[in-house]
Structure 1
Amino acid sequence: MNGIYVSAVEQRRRRRAVLVMTTLAVLIIVSFIISMNTGFIRLSPLDVVKTLFGMGTEKQELILFSFRLPRIVISVLIGAGFAVSGCIIQGLSRNPLADPGLLGINAGAGLAVVLFVSFYPASEKGSIFLMPLLALVGAALTALLIYVLSYRRHHGFMPTRMILAGIAVAAGISAAMIILTIRLDPTQYQFVSVWLAGSIWGTNWKYVLALLPWLIVLLPFVFYKAKALNALNLGEQLAVGLGTRVNKERAWLLAAAVGLAASSVAVGGGIGFVGLIAPHLARRLVGPHHQVLLPASAFVGALLVIVADTLARWAFQPSEIPTGIVVAVIGAPYFLYLLSRSK
């Protein structure tokens, strides 16, 4: 009888997950279409359809294919990358307030990019594909430092120390970046300031190609490791009891989270709160099991960033505000709400 009840509950949960995923996918598609119509030069839905099928004017094709579509695709990709990275970190730390930004991983990646821009113009050939690698190095070194600071010989890995160490490291790195910006020339300073504010500055297909391989490799790997993340989320002792190789699985998952966050930061700039908000909203929709929570987080993150970027381009036309500011306007109150409800 209990088996039948458990099976019925499992079936309802799966049906709910499928419904939620389908709804999120539809919302992303609708937002994608609306975003194609939004901008300083407005394209009507009919113009967009005609242009997509090769019947638009040369100007319409330039606007849609060279500027809007790459940016929209990048919004979807970095939203998914930040969200899944945040979901992994929340699972590993067992702390619902953790995300790549709060832990300093975004700041570490940003510091590497700022150092690179200081000595090598971001517009130079080859820099587009080099920046994600440098961001990965910066984020990895930051994650390693935080891991060392949060580990104690007799107590092992301590999630609470991880959060506190991450906040402290992030503050130090942010101060270092401010100092570095002083020595930049006006052109470099303008680029770095806009980038740090969370502007999706990559608006051509080269940036899509620079980011896409990271997500193609890392997202399926993380989804495959969902069961291990479920076990780690229960605590180290229970995970060992379930046969999980705790240190190895934690290292692989943390490396994947760092890679996703670093590559997204390199192309999307310092967009915060996505890794915090998206997993929370997804958890409310599909529950705590990472087999569905991880892909749901990716969908929610993609939807959040594409909506924020559309609002950033539409709200103050003809001017444009960085996408990170719109996300912060949404994310800061939600973070305070989560903080007030946390024990």
Structure 2
Amino acid sequence: MESVQVISAHRSRRNRGIVVMTVIGVLIIVAFIFSMNIGYIRMSPLEVTKTLFGMGTEKQSLILFDFRLPRIVISVLVGAGLAVSGCILQGVSRNALADPGILGINAGAGLMVMLFISFYPTTTAAPVFLLPVLALVGAGLTALLIYTLAYKRHEGISPTRLVLTGIAVAAGISAAMIVLTLRLDPDKYQFVATWLAGSIWGTNWKFVLALLPWISVLLPFVFYKARVMNVLNLGDQTAAGLGAPVEKERLILLAAAVGLAGSSVAVSGGIGFVGLIGPHLARRLVGPKHQLLIPTSALAGGLLMIVADTIGRWILQPSEIPTGIVVAVIGAPYFLYLLARSKT
């Protein structure tokens, strides 16, 4: 009788998760359609439809296919990447406040991108595809530094120590980035300032193609590791007792989180809090099981980013608010709320 109830509860959670993911997916499609109509030059739904089917004017095709669609696609991909990265970090560290932005991983990726931009023009094709790799290097080195500083031999990783170490490292990297900006010429300084504010600067299909391989490979891999993450959530001793190679799996998952965050930051700029809000929202909707939590986090992050980017382009037309600022307006109060509720 008890086993029947467990199976029934499992099916109920799975069905609820499918419904939630379907609803969020529909909301993303609605936001996608709405975002195509928003911009400095307004296009009616009829004009957008005609342009999509090749019946628009040359100007409308240029606006839609060369400017808006790449940016919208990048928003969804970046949101999914950052949210799943945050989901991994929260699961591996068992810390509800873990996030690639708060832990300094985004800052490490940004520092490497800034160094690259300082010495190389960003308009040619080669740098576009190198940026995710360089951002991955910067994010990886930062994550390694944080992990080394936060790890204690007999205690492992303390959730509180991990967050505090990440905040300290992020502050140091941010200070280094500010010093570097003083050496830039005015054009590059303007670009870096925009990047730091979290404006999605990679707005053509080259950036989509640069980001897509990372997202399309790492997201399925993380989903494949969902059962491992469930075991790690039980604690190191319990996971080891069940036969899981705890440190090895933790490092693999951290590498995946760093890859997702670094590649996303490379084309989106310094956007924080997506990795914090997305997983928390998903956890409230579908529960802690990672088989449902990971895809729901990806969808929630994609929805948050596309909505934030649309609001940023629409609310103060013809000016534009960087997406990172819109996300921060939502995320900062939520982070303080979580911090107030935290027991550690």
Same fold, TM exceeding 0.5? yes
Deviations 1:181-200 (A, max 9, x none): 00000000000000010000
1:127-166 equivalence runs, <5 A: 127-166=127-166
Query: How many Å apart are 1:153 and its aligned residue?
Result: 2.1
Code of the aligned partner of 2:32: F
Equivalent-residue separation in structure 1 for 2:340 and 2:155 (angstroms): 29
**Match of residue 326 from structure 2:** 326
**Aligned position for 1:207:** 207
Q: What does residue range 61-76 of structure 1 map to in structure 2 within 5 Å?
A: 61-76=61-76
| Deviations 1:6-31 (CA, angstroms, capped at 9, x unpaired) | 11111111110010000000000000
CA RMSD of aligned residues (A): 0.8
Q: Does 1:84 align with 2:84?
A: yes
Matching of residue 171 in structure 1 with residue 171 in structure 2? yes
Determine if the alignment matches structure 1 residue 22 to structure 2 residue 10.
no
Tell me what 1:96 maps to.
96
Instruction: Report deviation, 1:127.
Output: 0.8
* 1:265 match: 265
1:306-317 alignment runs, 5 A limit? 306-317=306-317
Report the more deviating stretch, 252-261 or 228-237.
228-237
- The reply on whether 1:12 has 2:27 as its aligned counterpart is no
| Structure 1: runs of 5+ lacking an equivalent | none
Pairs aligned (count)? 343
Distance 2:160 2:38 in 1: 43
Q: Deviations over 1:193-216 (max 9, x none)?
A: 000100001111000000000001
- CA separation in 2, counterparts of 1:162 and 1:184? 33
Shift of 1:159: 2.9
Distance 2:282 2:17 in 1: 10
Instruction: Report what 1:301 is aligned to.
Output: 301
Q: Distance in 1 between matches of 2:67 and 2:150?
A: 43
* Matching residue's letter, 2:292: V
What are the Cα deviations for residues 264-313 of structure 1, in whole angstroms up to 9, with x where unaligned?
00000000000000100000000000010000000000000000000000
- Structure 1 runs of 4+ off > 4 angstroms? none
1: distance between equivalents of 2:125 and 2:12? 52
Task: Give the aligned partner of residue 190 of structure 2.
Answer: 190
Unaligned runs of 5+ in 2: none
The structural deviation recorded for 1:160 is 2.6
Aligned to 1:249: 249
Which moves more between the two structures, 116-125 or 60-69? 116-125
Deviation string for 1:240-287 (max 9, x for gaps)?
Answer: 112111011101100000000000000000000000001000000000
How far is 1:59 from its partner?
A: 0.6
Q: Could you tell me the TM-score, scaled by structure 1's length? A: 0.99
Aligned pair 1:114/2:107, yes or no? no
Q: Quick one: distance in 2 between partners of 1:209 and 1:125? A: 11
CA contact (8 A) 1:181 1:189 kept: yes
Looking at structure 1, the residues matched to 209 and 2 of structure 2 have their Cα atoms a distance apart, in angstroms, of 50
Q: Compute the TM-score of the two structures, normalised by the length of structure 2.
A: 0.98
C-alpha distance in 2 between matches for 1:131 and 1:28: 27
* One-letter code aligned to 1:13: R
What secondary structure is seen at the aligned counterpart in 1 of 2:264? Answer: helix
CA distance in 1, matches of 2:71, 2:145: 33
Q: Give, in whole Å, the separation in 2 of the partners of 1:83 and 1:157.
A: 22
Per-residue deviation, 1:235 = 1.0
Tell me the equivalent position of 1:283. Answer: 283
Distance in 2, matches of 1:6 and 1:305, equals 36
Contact 1:109 1:135 in 2 (8 A): yes
Shift of 1:157: 3.1
Question: In structure 2, what is the Cα distance between the partners aligned to 1:247 and 1:29?
Answer: 39
